[in-house]
Amino acid sequence: RIQCSRADSLFTGRAIKLFKLEAEGAEPEVLHGLEGILPSIKYITADVGPERGKLEESTYNECVEFLLARNFKILAQRITGRNVVLFKNQNWLYESSQT
């Protein structure tokens, strides 16, 4: 057992321009832990390659569906070798005051 904290309890009240998500197959769980602060994150880059569990499954579908449902869009992706996707938040809270 490992003690952990949700990211949305650690980064409240901050504008985050880029969140790099590399969790060795636990990307969906990290995204769920960010849910409370997603509006304050402008970009998320996620390594969604085949690293999940003993079967080394990809987290691509679950991560893409999660973020698209929360008004992020895919800006770029590379799905060969290292599977990396760059998302942009369409409703970034700080858009009017920061770039």
Each residue's pLDDT tens digit, 4-57 = 888 888 888 889 999 999 998 889 999 999 999 999 999 999 999 888 888 888
Q: What would the pLDDT profile of 50-67 be if each residue is shown by its tens digit?
A: 888 888 888 899 999 999
pTM of this prediction?
A: 0.85
User: Helix 60-68 to helix 27-34 angle, to the nearest 10 degrees?
Assistant: 20
Q: Of the candidates 13, 17, 11, which has an alpha carbon nearest to the alpha carbon of residue 99?
A: 17
From the CB of residue 69, how many other CB atoms can be counted at a distance below 10 Å?
8
Question: Whole-angstrom Cα distance, residue 82 to residue 28?
Answer: 17
Q: What would the pLDDT profile of 71-80 be if each residue is shown by its tens digit?
A: 999 999 998 7
Tally of CA atoms within 13 A in the half-sphere of 73 that contains its CB: 4
Question: Whole-angstrom Cα distance, residue 9 to residue 74?
Answer: 26
